[in-house]
Amino acid sequence: MSSATHLQASIGHQIMALQTLRVLLQQRDRNEGQPSPQHVSAAPGQPGPGEDGEKAEGPAEAKTGDEGGAASEPRGHGQCELARVAVRTVLARVVETTSQLIQVEQTILNPLHQEVDFPVYLKDSIEFRNICSHMAQQPEGPYFDRDLNTAYKCLKTIIKKLIRSMLSLPADIRDLACVALRQVLQNLLDL
């Protein structure tokens, strides 16, 4: 498989993951009786929800000490509600960031990749898609939360590796791509 084909395949896997994540977010919103957010930033031709979250180190650290997820069985109603809000916030941010990443890949990286070859790590996008598919099979609870935390970390890894790939290119070529990817990463980290 050529390097250009790797980028297209990687984007394809991320689009599949995004579709799964959007369904999960819509289901969670319906179950919680919340209206879907109106502000949307999506991959071309694909509307989807997005939401601003509160600042924290990452999804696991913002919720509990339970090995990377929201509280599995909170003791009080307030804790339970807080855990649901935290999980929903992380899920919405992963949806939004995935959408932004796909948009950057399609509008900036794909044309750039046709001019200059740079490494693309297809395995990470496949893993991300698989994690999201696994999340769709999990009921609300600790396993879903753990998968969500893993998806968050995997998405962060994909973006960081793309930034590293850009850094190997000449400065005049890489600048726009690096700025766009760093903004996507910052949006993910600003939980």
What mean pLDDT do residues 109-132 have? Answer: 93
Question: Distance between CA atoms of 58 and 67, rounded to whole angstroms?
Answer: 12
Model confidence over 33-61: pLDDT tens digits?
Answer: 655 444 444 444 444 444 434 334 445 44
Specify the pTM: 0.75
The pLDDT value given to residue 83: 82
What are the respective helix, strand and coil percentages of the chain, to the nearest 5?
A: 70, 0, 30
Of 26-30, 79-83, 184-188, the poorest mean pLDDT is in 79-83
Residue-by-residue DSSP string for 27-68: HHHHHHTPPPPS----STT----------BS-TTTTT-SSTT
Residue 118: what residue type? F
Where do runs of H (alpha helix) occur along 65-141? 77-104, 110-115, 122-136
